[in-house]
Each structure stands twice: as structure tokens, then as C-alpha cells.
């Protein structure tokens, strides 16, 4: 692989200074920003790096607001909708790229039928909810299976990924790395981002 794209998750950052935190990460070399949205949280605006991870119960209702706010990609959870096909279509019609996420308890076979219609699969490596949780290595077979079946699909991992765990993700075939606390809590986010990226090109 020629290096993963690194998307810091700002869930662990200083939310009162979100704009500054986003800029700090882009200045530190982030390829994109992984923005976690939960029910009740406000949206953001502007830019070309905004990849939304919608951990919400009704993802249908936020497509248009996020598009208007300037989101570039809209990732929803397969578990949260009864009609993934319609949602994929709506996201595209609103000019955003499509990401499809599965929680740890969801087997990858449920995602497979949609793989050719999406831009990115997100394999969660923790239960969605908050940063700083322990990486679930037993999710790696899902990543590996997807990589084998869909060689050109972008595959993102999210949850507990940092310098100690990223090599397992890269080996399995992930090419988009979300990392929250490992980057945000570092005094030198640039070096962490570079380290994470370089593991993918080894
Ligand atoms: C978890 C979120 C993640 C989280 C990652 O529910 O989707 O994006 O912020 O944080 P770390 O890397 O600390 O697990
Ligand atoms: Zn996330």
C-alpha cells in the first residue's frame, strides 16, 4: 500500500474550540477530519475535508442539513436504517460521498450487498459512543474479507486505533485510519499522524 489516509477524530478534542481544533489537525498533516455526530449534537460547516460519521438513530433526517453545512462524505450505520439503498441514493443526490458503517456485532455479510454502491466501508473497532476505548482486534477478519472481495473499496477503521494497533489494521487491508485520543492527546500530533500513515506503506 502507498500509505493510508489519516483522519483524526475530533470527538476527544476541545469541542468549545472545534474550528481551531480542526485547523490544528489539518496543520499537523491530517488528510481528512473524521467528525462524529450523535443525536443532539450540532453540525459544522465549510471545507473539503469533512467526513461525517453519523452515529444517530435516524440517519435519513440529517442528509440534507449535512450537505448544506458542507459535509463531503456521509457515513451512516447499517443498523440504523431499514432502507440502505434509498439512503445511499439520497446522499449521492445531495452531492456527498457515501460511507457505510457496521458495529462490532454486525457481520460483514450484511454490508457486502451494498459494497459496490458505496465509497467507503467503516468497520467499527469499538462500540460506537466515545473515544479512548480498547481496540477490538477480532474485527480484523471483517476488514480482511472486505479487502479480498472488494479490492478498490476504501475501508476505514475507527476505535482504539493508534501507534500500537494501526499495523493490524493496515495488514488486514484498511486504508483509512481514524484515530482520536492517540492523536488528540499527543503533544506532537504531526508525528503521530506521520507514524500512522507510514505503517500503511511498510
Ligand atoms: C467512537 C467514535 C470514534 C472515536 C475514536 O464512537 O466513532 O471516532 O472518537 O476515538 P479513539 O481513537 O480514541 O478510539
Ligand atoms: Zn467515529
Percent of the chain beyond pLDDT 70?
A: 94
Sheet-wide strand order for 154-158: 5-8, 176-179, 154-158, 120-124, 97-102, 73-77, 50-55, 33-38
pTM of the model: 0.88
Picking from 18, 29, 69, the residue whose alpha carbon sits closest to that of residue 47 is 69
Q: Which CATH number fits domain 5-201: 3.30.70.980, 3.40.50.2000, 3.40.50.970, 3.20.20.70?
A: 3.20.20.70
User: Cα of 60 to ligand 1 centre, how many Å?
Assistant: 22
Region 73-80 average pLDDT: 97
3-state SS assignment for residue 168: helix
Concerning whether 119 is annotated as a catalytic residue, the answer is no
User: Cα of 75 to ligand 2 centre, how many Å?
Assistant: 9
Cell of 148: 479480498
From 39, 119, 158, 164, the catalytic residue:
158
Assess whether the C-beta atom of 9 lies below 6 angstroms from ligand 1: yes
Band (189; pLDDT cuts 50, 70, 90): very high
Band (4; pLDDT cuts 50, 70, 90): very high
* pLDDT above 60 for 45: no
3-state SS assignment for residue 99: strand
* pLDDT above 80 for 55: yes
* Mean pLDDT lowest among 8-12, 75-79, 169-173: 8-12
Rounded CA separation 62/55 (Å) = 11
**DSSP states of 12-48:** GS-GGGHHHHHHHHHHTT-SSEEEEEETT------SS
* Mean pLDDT lowest among 18-22, 138-142, 177-181: 18-22
User: Cα of 162 to ligand 2 centre, how many Å?
Assistant: 14
From 36, 39, 164, 188, the catalytic residue:
36
Concerning whether 36 is annotated as a catalytic residue, the answer is yes
Residue where the block lists cell 481551531: 20
What contacts 109, CB < 8 A, 6 or more positions away? none
Band (6; pLDDT cuts 50, 70, 90): very high
The domain limits of the chain are 5-201
Q: Dihedrals φ, ψ of 156, to 5°? A: -110, 145
Q: Which residue has the higher pLDDT, 43 or 74?
A: 74
Band (159; pLDDT cuts 50, 70, 90): very high
Residue where the block lists cell 500512522: 196
Amino acid at each position: 500500500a502507498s500509505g493510508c489516509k489519516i483522519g483524526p477524530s475530533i470527538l476527544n478534542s476541545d469541542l468549545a474550540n472545534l474550528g481551531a481544533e480542526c485547523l490544528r489537525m489539518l496543520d499537523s498533516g491530517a488528510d481528512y477530519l473524521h467528525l462524529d455526530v450523535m443525536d443532539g449534537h450540532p453540525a459544522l460547516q465549510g471545507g473539503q475535508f469533512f467526513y461525517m460519521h453519523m452515529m444517530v438513530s435516524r440517519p435519513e433526517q440529517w442528509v440534507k442539513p449535512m450537505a448544506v453545512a458542507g459535509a463531503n462524505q456521509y457515513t451512516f450505520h447499517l443498523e440504523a436504517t431499514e432502507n440502505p439503498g434509498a439512503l445511499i441514493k439520497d446522499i449521492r443526490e445531495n452531492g456527498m460521498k457515501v460511507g457505510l458503517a457496521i458495529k462490532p456485532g454486525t457481520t460483514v455479510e450484511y454490508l457486502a450487498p451494498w459494497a459496490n454502491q458505496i465509497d467507503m466501508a467503516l468497520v467499527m473497532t469499538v462500540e460506537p459512543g466515545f473515544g479512548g476505548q480498547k481496540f477490538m482486534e477480532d474485527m480484523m477478519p471483517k476488514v480482511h474479507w472486505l479487502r479480498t472481495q472488494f479490492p478498490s473499496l476504501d475501508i476505514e477503521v475507527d476505535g482504539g486505533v493508534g501507534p500500537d494497533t494501526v499495523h493490524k489494521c493496515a495488514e488486514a487491508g484498511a486504508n483509512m485510519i481514524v484515530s482520536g485520543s492517540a492523536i488528540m492527546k499527543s503533544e506532537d500530533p504531526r508525528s503521530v499522524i506521520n507514524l500512522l500513515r507510514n505503517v500503511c506503506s511498510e
